[in-house]
Each structure stands twice: as structure tokens, then as C-alpha cells.
Amino acid sequence: MSAPDTASTPRRVLVTGASGMLGGAVAQLLRDNGHHVRTFQRGASAGATDEVRGSLTDLDAVAAAVKSMDAVIHLAAKVSFTGQWEDFVATNIDGTSNLLAASKESGVKDFVFVSSPSVAHFGKSLAGAGAGDADPQQARGFYARSKAAAEREALGNDSPEFRVAAIRPHVVWGPGDTQLVERVIARAKAGRLPLLDHGAALIDTTYIDNAAAAIVRGLERMDHAHGRALVVTNGEPRPVGELIAGICQAGGTPVPKLNVPGWLARGAGSVIEKLWLAAGSRDLVHDEPPMTRFLAEQLSTAHWFDQRETHEVLDWKPEVGIDEGLQKLADHYRAS
């Protein structure tokens, strides 16, 4: 890797969503690189010495969070396979609008919006794809649609005075992950994790250390990255069944054996999700439907990406491979 960029000079950086696995890793890496980090989230953030607690919907809290900051890395979001559209709008769209406006008003110079490749995944296979344009009309599921709308607004604010980049880490996982790893293990234990089309779909994923490093590079390489959307992965596409098996084995859980045709799961997912939402209020973090159409599409269609532009723009490549990451995951579960 080349010498550090001049933009890596210590700065005051706000990280939203630092109580999550990825946000916490980004905040810690920034600290390790000599930056002053302030975190903004509703609960406590590990390692924080400068934090503001609050919601993206609270204009006063957002204004307090961005005050005196040089840069913002925005990770906070509502992430779920299902839920009410209004909740996604409030956090992912309106919350991002609030943060953008407050950042510009406060004199923030650089803004990294952490997005998702799902903003340009429209239910069909993606094989060696580029980033693609975020499209809130075609993106699948409320999370992807809301993130697509927010990314469009963020990049629409890019200018020489207020530089904005969108970094899209794909399927981030690692020790302590509650979004993917714990869901896979819990569903596998409960017998609620079928393989779709024998788990043959080829997908990219991103180990947590690599995702955090790429996001920080997005800030440090803003001269090159602003105005762009960049997908970040490990660059090691594998069959989804193989990845699920690796996660289950690391967590000491039997590997799923049940196979369901992808077309059947997609149709069933649409029906189940509607019935689930109609049943009323639920704890959607721990009590999600067994299948949604979005989840079925993710498990039964290829989604892997050409990483050449990302590597060139960020002057970065992943350091932790999939196999090493699975070993780290196994070590984590053995220790805990």
C-alpha cells in the first residue's frame, strides 16, 4: 500500500451508529489512526470518551453531534428484513436528511454515507457487477428502498465545499455480529434456515475488519472518492450454502440440510411477510418472519462484484480472507 494520504492527518470525526458492530469497529480504527472521534447513537458506545446520545430524528441532538466536527461517517440506520415503511423513512431517509443539513450548517467538510449494495439489487443475479445506480423504486424491501433514497440525497449534496462519498460494504460479518451471524446460527438451531436451490448462489461477503478499513479509507481518500458509490467486499465469492455452513460450524451449530426451491421461497416469503406485519406489533429484532421475499432473493440469486474500481479509488485491499475470518469467528465462540 502507498504512503498515507495527506487527508489522513488527524481530524475531528463524528461516527453515527457506533453502538453497532461495524460502527464500533470504524470508530476504534479512527482512534487507532490518531483521529479524534465523537460518537452519536441512542445508547452507549464502547470506548467512547466523546459521545452524544440521541436520535437522528431529534434536530437538537443532531446539531449537537456535528458541532465542531471536520467530517462525518454515517452508519446509523434501521436494519431489518421487515417492519413498517414509516419507521424506515423516519430513520434512514429523514434522519439522513437531518444529518446532512446539520453537517453543512456546521461547516463539516467531508461526509461518508455508509450504504448497501442492495440499493442497486433488483431481484436478479449480479455477477461481477459494478456499483450500479441506487434506485428506491426498484430496490427490494423497505430497508434497501430507504437506503437507496438516502444515498441519492447524500450524493446529490456532493460539492467541492461539502464532499460526499457512498461506501457500500456487502454482507458484513464477524465476531459479535448480530445482523447476520447470530441470525444464521439461531435460525439453524431452530430448524428455520433452509438452503434455497441447494445453496448454490454465488455471493460476496465482507469480514468486519475489511469493511471498517475500507470505510475509513473512504474518508482518507475523499479527494478520489467523493461523488462516487463504491461497493466493498472481500472479493472472494462463494456459494451461499458454503458460507452458511462455515458460520454454523464456527458457532457449533448443525449445518442446515433442508432444501427449498428458490421460486417457492420467494413466493412464500411475500405472503409470510404480509401476514407477519398484519399480525401487529412485534419485537422485529428477535422475532422476525421465517422468510421474506427480500431474504429469499438474497439466498437464491448471485450477488458478487467487480472490486477493481474500489481498490484503485481507495488504494486499499482486504487483509483478512474468508477462511481466516471463519477461524476468528470459531475462536470467538470457543472463548465465549
How far, in Å, CA of 55 to CA of 10, rounded? 27
How far apart (Å, rounded) are the C-alpha atoms in residues 227 and 180?
A: 29
143 catalytic residue (yes or no): yes
- The predicted model scores a pTM of 0.90
How does residue 273 score in pLDDT terms, banded at 50, 70 and 90?
A: low
**Cβ atoms 28, 183 nearer than 8 A:** no
According to DSSP, the residues that pair with 231 across neighbouring strands are 168
* Distance of alpha carbon 248 from alpha carbon 250, whole angstroms: 5
3-58 pLDDT tens trace: 445 456 889 999 999 999 999 999 999 999 999 999 998 877 776 678 999 999 99
Catalytic site residue from 143, 207, 294, 305: 143
Whether domain 11-172+206-233+305-319 has CATH 3.40.50.720? yes
DSSP 231: E
Per-domain boundaries in the chain: 11-172+206-233+305-319
Any residues with CB less than 8 A from the CB of 73 and at least 6 apart, and which? 13, 14, 15, 16, 26, 30, 112, 114, 215, 216, 219
Among 38-52, 88-102, 262-276, 280-294, which stretch is predicted with the lowest mean pLDDT? 280-294
pLDDT of 252 reads 92
DSSP state of 254: P
Per residue in 83-118, pLDDT tens? 889 999 999 999 999 999 999 999 999 999 999 999
Cα 279 to chain centroid, rounded: 28
Side chain identity at residue 191, one-letter code: G
Distances (CA, A) of 175 to 17, 24, 45, 214, 235: 18, 12, 17, 18, 20
Burial class of residue 270 (count of CB atoms within 10 Å of its CB; 0-12, 13-18, 19+): middle
pLDDT tens readout for residues 178-223: 888 998 898 888 888 888 888 898 999 999 999 999 999 999 999 9
To which H or E segment does residue 266 belong? helix 262-278
Report how far residue 226's alpha carbon sits from residue 209's, in angstroms, rounded to the nearest whole number. Answer: 22
* Grid cell locating 304: 458478487
Listing DSSP states for 40-73 in one string gives: EESS--TT-SSEEE--TT-HHHHHHHHTT-SEEE
pLDDT in tens, 155-170: 999 999 999 999 999 9
